[in-house]
Structure 1
């Protein structure tokens, strides 16, 4: 595992305390309901996550059975459902899949009792088998029935509303709640009426969590059986109400996000129609962090009644894609805001104060006409995650319960906010008064969100690997790989709580970023404090330079780069057209014509900075290509590399004879003509896709190139210059 990390990750190797698990209680946490999430065990008085290094479907099957959650559907071994806040149990669990509870499965300790910080066991079970929908038109509608004491019974419609339907839809892995049905809309049931006066907040994972009493009601009849209509194929997640949010589609037995690829009014109209939510008000990409790389490209005409009637194409995003999830705001919801940006940035009742920016600080709420801090006893990871989402500040990084960001001067609110962690705003969480009604004066809730950090990692395999980006004011910029070292990477890993740095790949290994390029100076990357200070005021922009020397123009010559205050050359080992293309593009000199070797433009002086350069041709800077490292070479200046670019040369007109369509075996003449050409001179015919080039002397401002018998190898796009 350690060797694999060295190849793929920047940081993330973490050593955890030795722990041996004995008697256990199991739960799934961090998921949308009690049957989905990371696996946590209760031992020695605390809950802790299970290491995912040896986790498999046999172990998951036992968990689902123990939790009465049906059968295991799939597993995860990444922090998809978070890391949790307790210890990580590192025992290797080895179930056969037939055990009734996890605690009877054989287990053995790993030899070093360690676990990769990003290896977390997770399970998705098929759902609560004690709840079913009967007589509906699809799997997500029907009369609600629950299993109790071995008998199926119905639910009375007294007090039955859309919040109760929300809970049922979530428990059955269906889409958004659409309608609460009463008066035995789906026919009268049989047997006992188990539940009545259901009163859910809407964020519970099961009807059994809604404060219900199980008994057979004498004042309800089966003519009052409750029913639900959930969307079977679509749901809106993380919205401010049921008619807004990120669009997710159920297709081929899986929920996947709709992608913001040609997402427009037609697609949004179908979503709002299917959700019974009126007209589409806004349609755009979601600002939430991409968690699922797979998704559906959707194309609708706008007349479909369901999104599944549109063309759905499954697509797997790569780290180079800048394609987020699609979202909508429909008019039928309770939201009175009219733009998606207003919805995402609404912060009228919540703010973070006392920190370096708006995404870090103590939690303050505006209630009863005044601002006040929140007691630290009321803060947990779920609540804090919603705070970050509410403020459009990315994901949760860390919580604090001390006056790290001051105590404030107003009221101290002691209410408990009950969040599951998936809500989009704090207003969607339940509120209950604190039993104590008092708060320790040194217990202050504080939150650090990822968008408030000085540094972040982008396009990595997990949250502890990726391209390093540093905040400079309100702008994010990348870090130049010149002078980038393991010690400097360690500062980044420490700031992100990602353990030890294990690899420092350069050359845009995690793809090229945007914005300014910062220098990795020793003074800024000494420790986390110095990096914070530099981010605030003194990060230096990289001024990496390149030039061509001894050529006929500024677009031809010996390649030299400026490094550590000194100009130096590039060795011609493996030097070719893709490398020359990058140089020409970096200098704004158009296409590469030649990649020269053997000091074609004379020997240089000073250091030979680069050797064994291997570009793909698409890089923006020569130093982003693969090379041995600055100053590492086995060359002399008789091997200095050079290039000739098109530059600002005149571009001739190209004509083709005998016709614009060419057949196999035809004799083809390509004529290049330029009106301003002087007598003499040379024309060059090149091919965009490869290194093919022909030269002809100009006669009367033109030159003709003959291809006597064309074949498929000569297909392509041609250009000419003089």
Structure 2
């Protein structure tokens, strides 16, 4: 239709008509697989005035504005942070994350000849004030590219972690159970990717309920890019690989032999010290593995109250090196682990 980017796809009523199955890359519905059956109707709201082109999804790309039935690139000098906030909001995306000229290449058509002067609160980019461009040229490489953060429209609940639980989607001001039509592994892969939770470990089918149904190919960056409807479908629970939060590692000594050096903590020879590993109280049990690169030594202790303390008597040169805590736990019938940041310890003094 030449209507820019998709803003939202509100659910419609189920009725008899043409059903279409698209991957999203087709240039028209004629290229999609079609059937004649009972299907939920589809309402589409497009952005008629602005779009992002050349990015990984509809929330990133080169900013283009519709002008006289054609699309025009916007020069970096004519576009600022407040303009970006309006565009991201108009497209239903999150806050602007990156704004840079030439980030997504140059447009093949004309260049927008006005400077936008948005206040950041407008609902549409074309509602913003504009002024004539001071410099009438836009140099090559200066077409503005914009990356908006993905909207928080999916979450996992009831699993003790933001990376595990039943899938819910935010639609029309409410959280709904998300159901899948066929291959839930494809939808689960998209959920884990969108949440930054690694890869899928397992997918469990839940109860059938009225909610948002999704159909994904598995390559999408968010559920917003999948085909969606409002239907009676079985919900599903997703367990992602980055289930455990990152543990903490810190150094203490009861005798005051540690001090902060230029490169990190330093310990006087002969003093006792303790390295403590801890994690947030997500799940009971588990264990901590303390790794040490100085001699490839490792020590393991069970997690008691979600922490473990490793005592080192009489510090000497053999204790100098880099330490890290690895938290291991067996939950949801799988082994998971998460590693802390590195702690570099230097030994000094006579």
Q: TM-score under structure 1 normalisation? A: 0.26
Unaligned runs of 5+ in 1: 1-22, 235-265, 267-298, 314-722
CA contact (8 A) 2:105 2:141 kept: no
Cα deviations across residues 255-292 of structure 1 (Å, max 9, x unaligned)? xxxxxxxxxxx9xxxxxxxxxxxxxxxxxxxxxxxxxx
Label 1:175 to 1:39 Cα distance change in 2 as closer, same or farther (>3 A): farther
User: Which structure 2 residues correspond to residues 140-219 of structure 1 after superposition, within 5 A?
Assistant: 140-172=163-195, 174-184=196-206, 192-195=210-213, 198-212=214-228, 214-217=229-232
Aligned pair in 2 of structure 1 residues 87, 165: CA closer, same or farther (>3 Å)? farther
- Which residue number in structure 1 is paired with residue 64 of structure 2? 40
What value does the CA root-mean-square deviation take over the aligned residues?
3.6
Structure 1 position 47, deviation (Å): 3.0
CA deviation profile, 1:617-668 (whole Å, cap 9, x unmatched):
xxxxxxxxxxxxxxxxxxxxxxxxxxxxxxxxxxxxxxxxxxxxxxxxxxxx
Note the C-alpha offset of 1:215.
2.3
> Residue 112 of structure 2 corresponds to which residue in structure 1?
89
Aligned-partner Cα distance in 2 for 1:24–1:46:
11
How many angstroms does 1:105 deviate by?
0.5
The CA deviation at 1:78 is: 2.9
Question: Is the radius of gyration larger for structure 1 or structure 2?
Answer: 1
Report the Cα offset of residue 176 of structure 1.
3.5
In the TM superposition, what is the alpha-carbon distance from 1:126 to its structure 2 partner? 3.0
Distance 1:300 1:109, change over 3 A: farther
Q: CA deviation at 1:34?
A: 2.1
1: distance between equivalents of 2:163 and 2:63? Answer: 27
On the 8 A contact 1:39/1:122 being kept in 2, the answer is yes
Secondary structure in structure 1 of the residue aligned to 2:190: helix
Q: Decide whether aligned partners of structure 1 residues 98 and 145 sit closer, same or farther in structure 2, where only a CA change above 3 A counts.
A: same
Greater RCO (CA < 8 Å, at least 6 residues apart): 2
User: CA 1:232–1:62 in structure 2 vs 1: closer, same or farther (change >3 Å)?
Assistant: farther
- Say if 1:177 and 1:76 are closer, same or farther in 2 by CA, change over 3 A: same
Distance 1:227 1:158, change over 3 A: farther
Deviation at 1:303, TM superposition (A): 6.0
Contact 1:93 1:105 in 2 (8 A): yes
Aligned-partner Cα distance in 2 for 1:117–1:145: 44
The aligned runs of 1:528-539 (5 Å cut-off) are none
Number of the residue aligned with 2:144: 121
CA 1:120 to 1:228, structure 2 compared with 1: closer, same or farther past 3 Å? farther
The match for 1:227 is 238
Q: Relative to 1, partners in 2 of residues 1:89 and 1:202: Cα closer, same or farther, differing over 3 Å? A: farther
Runs of 4+ in 1 over 4 A off after TM superposition: 299-308
Change (3 A) 1:75 1:209: closer
Alignment of 1:311 with 2:342, yes or no, is: yes
Q: Secondary structure at the match of 1:181?
A: strand
Asked if the contact 1:39/1:123 (under 8 Å) is kept, the reply is: yes
Tell me the distance in 1 between the aligned counterparts of 2:99 and 2:244.
Answer: 23
Deviation, 1:66, is 0.7
Counterpart Cα distance in 2 of 1:91 and 1:111: 9
Query: CA 1:307 to 1:54, structure 2 compared with 1: closer, same or farther past 3 Å?
Result: farther
1:50 corresponds in structure 2 to: 74
Once residues 147 and 178 of structure 1 are traced to their aligned partners in structure 2, the CA distance between those partners, rounded to angstroms, is 21
Could you tell me whether the CA contact under 8 Å between 1:40 and 1:48 is conserved in 2? yes
d(CA) in 2 for partners of 1:199, 1:94: 40
Change (3 A) 1:52 1:139: farther
SS at match of 1:77: strand
Greater helix percent: which structure? 1
- Matched with 2:121 is 98
Give the match's secondary structure for 1:156: strand
Query: CA contact under 8 A between 2:198 and 2:242: conserved in structure 1?
Result: yes
- Displacement of 1:102 in angstroms is 0.7
Q: Is the 8 A contact 1:28 1:37 kept in 2?
A: yes
